[in-house]
Every structure is written in C-alpha cells, then in structure tokens.
A and B are shown apart, each in its own frame.
Chain A
C-alpha cells in the first residue's frame, strides 16, 4: 500500500483536509469515503459531518470548520471524535497553514 501517512494523533486546532486519494460518494445517510491508497472504506453517517469534512480546508482548524457547520462548541465532541477516527486511518491529512 503506497504512502500510508500515519497520523497517530489528531489535533483539532490544526488545518485538515481529505487525503488527495480519498473519494467521496454522496449517500442519503451521509457519504461513503474510499481511500484508493489504503483501500479502506469509511462511512459518514449524517449530512453535517459530510459538510464538515468537505469544508475542512477552508478553515484554519477543525474546530472552526465545525462551528461554521453550525455545531456549537458543547456539541462538537462526537464530531471531533469522528474526525480523529478519519485522521488515524489516513482519510484526513494535516495541511500546513499556507
């Protein structure tokens, strides 16, 4: 498996984006993610997390992406957890601040 980038820790204070080899297929329940490098499938189980994931590169960090999608700080834990799972499986990669 090529270039599996390991992200052992997920820092919600950083800028993240989908790995360039991950494809997103919209579904009624959310979306299906497929990583052409690791051959792993993941499921985004509602539309809000889909919006968050797709908008990650537009925000300086994951918390502000959640806020912009209407998730108040107090409600962010499950979303940040989901992003952490995606980061650990290399679906998300940390993007250096331009």
Chain B
C-alpha cells in the first residue's frame, strides 16, 4: 500500500465499488471427484449447462479488456474439465493470470513440470487437516495422500511457492503450527480461510466452526505470523479482537464491490460464499450471438448497485467495534439464518451466540450439485465421527 494523503479512505472507495473486480473467483465446473462435507458450492455432479470452451474464452476476453489481472479458478475440481489447460493457457496468453484451487487429483509429475515452466500460474492445494485423520474426515478418504502427493510433485518439478489452502475448523485449529511446517516442507505458502456456512457447509457449520476460544487462538496466531500466512482477507470479522490493522489485509467485505463469483453456468454471484438466488446478479451469457456480458452484469446489475450503497449497521450500530468488523460476513449471516444487518454468527463480542440460539430459519439452498441424493446423510466422510466427546456448549465458555 502506498501511503498518501488519503481522504476519502481507500476502504470507502472500495465499498462504493470499482469498474472491474480486483479479485474474481471463477468456478469452472460443479463436477468433483471428492465430496467434502463443507463444500461451498455443493459440488459433485457436472451441470449439463456448463459453459463451453468458447464461452469461457469470451469471458477471458472480457476480463482482459476490463484489466482483471488474475482470476481464482475453482470448482468443483476445475482440472477435471477436459479443456482446463487450454483455458489456463488462453487466460495467461491474454494477460489474465491464473490461480487455481485443486484437491491435487490431476497434479501428476508431468503436469507439475508443465506448471513449473509457466510463469503466470499459481496453484493452491486444498488441505483441511495437517494429518490424514483430521483432513480425510472432512475431505474424504485418501484426500490427504492425494494433496500431499501433488505438493511433492510440484516441489520435485521445481515449482516454487505453491499454496496450501486450509479452511479453519474446530478440529484443525490446534494444527496451525503443523500446517505451517507442512507448507514449509514443500516450499509452499500457507493460506488459511474461514469456514463458511455456505453450500454443504450449512449442514456441518454448527459442528465444525471454531469455538469462541479457538477464534481468539486463531486470531493471535494470524497476527503473530503476519504476512507470511495468506488469509484471502477472510477473517475481517475478527479484526475487533485487536488493534486496527493488526490483522494483515484490507479487512472489508468486498462482495459485489471488489469481488464476485462466476459459476460454471455463467451465473454471477456477489461472492464465492454466496451461491444462492438472493445474491445472484445475473448471467454472463449474452442474448446477442457475440461474446459475453460479464462487464454489464458487474457494472449495472441491480444487486451489485445495492451492495455498493452505504449499508446499515442495524443492530451493530451501537457497537464500538463496528468500524473494524463492519458487521462481519454477509454470507455467514445469511446461511445461518441471521439478519443481514445484525452481528456475524462468530461476532467477537459474543453477540452471535444469542442470535444463533433464537429461533431462526436457515435458507434452503437454491443451487445443489451434490452427488448423494440426500446430502444430509453423506455417503462419504462423516465429520461427526470425530466428535467422540460432546461439544462443549458455547455458554460454558467465556465470551470473547
């Protein structure tokens, strides 16, 4: 960040939105070889309406014109698309850098060598436990081995600075140092993000999200590790735990203002954690035969225009921490059935817990590609087996 005399603040500028997103997530497919219990996008089966190779290239052309410098590609498992590498090459040739998230299934020695030779591609391997036991309970049997094999292949090929991407849960908070050591061992950078109650995450959030005590533990650890650990700005709801600026990053909700999501069928949502009709801004497919209309959706959709208006602090208005947390994460509130103008379910002042304890209706998911017919009884990993002891009631723990 470049310090200049700066009225109005950059954060305020961002809250009013930019002409193009800074950071764009693009999920290329809902198909996935795994069925992680907390999948944000409820992925599993391919959607028959998935964008074609040409439609994807049209989007890349638009991103180049809009000077979106890079996209975060995910899924589903993006590498299972037959045209995945073609699209990666097309993007980088058109000045759109690629960071893609994968469970590692296709990162063979050959692919790793190819990636090592390409300068504009970043690779992020998902891992939700520093041990197979903790990881596989969430991501499925064999997924730890798959991810670490991919990391080894990347290291052996000389690919520098892969990312190890961890979703912080109740079961892996005590492994933060182990994750750091694991990433260091592969010459990789650790990235830790927040567990969202989005997609299938809604079904397991109550059991998996870190306890209030663990939130403090996580916050302290992140502050101590500073910029050596990436967070995708995902813990801004914790910024009230310390001095402003102690937590690296911009610490604001960028939904529809500086970030958004394009899903596999071209639907544009406010953020990667908000795949629901409520946060659907439009679709990139153009009614004319030529090209796509992502820019039009980004700049003109009614939803995004609303999100760029000043937001009401609502019930949080009288809280002294509102300036740092801004009421927390919109998606986390929405999918836990809390009002959007009230506290985050993981509010560091403890206002989330009484809100969660009240009667609330969790919204039904409107987009679900899970493979199991009934996703509440997953055929694969079952996170509850980890909880050999009943979880402590929140009210038995000191409020933050």
**How many B residues, CB 8 Å from partner?**
23
Say yes or no: A39 contacts B4, CB within 8 Å.
Answer: no
Say yes or no: B2 contacts A45, CB within 8 Å.
Answer: yes
Query: Measured between C-beta atoms, what is the minimum distance from B62 to chain A in Å?
Result: 14
Say yes or no: B4 contacts A49, CB within 8 Å.
Answer: yes
The DSSP consensus for interface residues of chain B is: loop
Say yes or no: A32 contacts B2, CB within 8 Å.
Answer: no
Answer yes or no: B97 CB below 8 A from chain A CBs: yes
Taking a contact as CB atoms closer than 8 A, the residue among A41, A79, A82 that contacts B22 in the complex is A41
Query: Measured between C-beta atoms, what is the minimum distance from B396 to chain A in Å?
Result: 43
Say yes or no: B2 contacts A25, CB within 8 Å.
Answer: no
Segment at the interface with A among B12-20, B73-81, B299-307: B12-20
Give residues of chain B (24-73) contacting chain A, Cβ–Cβ below 8 Å: 67, 69-70
Say yes or no: B13 contacts A23, CB within 8 Å.
Answer: no
Say yes or no: B3 contacts A82, CB within 8 Å.
Answer: yes
- The digit string for A8-27, where 1 denotes a CB below 8 A from any CB of B, is 00000000000000010101
Query: Measured between C-beta atoms, what is the minimum distance from A18 to chain B in Å?
Result: 13
A1-B161, A25-B20 are known contacts. Are A44 and B2 too (CB-CB below 8 A)?
yes
**How many A residues, CB 8 Å from partner?**
25
Measured in the bound complex, the distance between the Cα atoms of B4 and A45 in whole Å is 7
Answer yes or no: A86 CB below 8 A from chain B CBs: yes
Answer yes or no: B122 CB below 8 A from chain A CBs: yes
Taking a contact as CB atoms closer than 8 A, the residue among B4, B10, B69 that contacts A25 in the complex is B69
Answer yes or no: A85 CB below 8 A from chain B CBs: yes
Answer yes or no: B119 CB below 8 A from chain A CBs: yes
Measured in the bound complex, the distance between the Cα atoms of B70 and A79 in whole Å is 28
Residues of B within 8 A of A1 (CB): 160-161
Answer yes or no: A97 CB below 8 A from chain B CBs: no
Query: Measured between C-beta atoms, what is the minimum distance from B253 to chain A in Å?
Result: 18
Residues of A within 8 A of B1 (CB): 42-43, 85
Say yes or no: B161 contacts A45, CB within 8 Å.
Answer: no
Residues of B within 8 A of A29 (CB): 8, 10, 13
Measured in the bound complex, the distance between the Cα atoms of B299 and A28 in whole Å is 14
Say yes or no: B69 contacts A81, CB within 8 Å.
Answer: no
Say yes or no: A39 contacts B2, CB within 8 Å.
Answer: no
Measured in the bound complex, the distance between the Cα atoms of B69 and A34 in whole Å is 7
Closest to B69 in A: A34
Closest to B1 in A: A43
Taking a contact as CB atoms closer than 8 A, the residue among B4, B67, B119, B161 that contacts A82 in the complex is B4
Answer yes or no: B95 CB below 8 A from chain A CBs: yes
Answer yes or no: A78 CB below 8 A from chain B CBs: yes
**Which of A25, A36, A45, A81 is most buried by chain B, counting CB atoms within 10 A of its CB?**
A45
Say yes or no: A85 contacts B10, CB within 8 Å.
Answer: no
Answer yes or no: A46 CB below 8 A from chain B CBs: yes
Say yes or no: A49 contacts B69, CB within 8 Å.
Answer: no
Taking a contact as CB atoms closer than 8 A, the residue among A28, A34, A37, A82 that contacts B2 in the complex is A82
Query: Measured between C-beta atoms, what is the minimum distance from A25 to chain B in Å?
Result: 4
Answer yes or no: A2 CB below 8 A from chain B CBs: yes
Residues of A within 8 A of B97 (CB): 36, 39
Residues of B within 8 A of A39 (CB): 70, 97, 122
Say yes or no: B95 contacts A23, CB within 8 Å.
Answer: yes
A-B CB proximity, top 7 nearest: A34-B69, A25-B67, A82-B2, A45-B4, A29-B13, A45-B6, A85-B2
Taking Cβ atoms with an 8 Å cutoff, the residues of A that contact B are 1-2, 23, 25, 27-29, 32, 34, 36-37, 39, 41-46, 49, 78-79, 81-82, 85-86
A-B contact pairs, 26 of them (CB 8 A): A23-B69, A23-B95, A25-B67, A27-B13, A27-B18, A28-B19, A32-B18, A32-B22, A36-B95, A36-B120, A37-B119, A39-B97, A43-B1, A43-B10, A44-B2, A45-B10, A46-B4, A46-B6, A49-B2, A49-B4, A78-B3, A78-B4, A79-B4, A81-B3, A85-B2, A86-B2
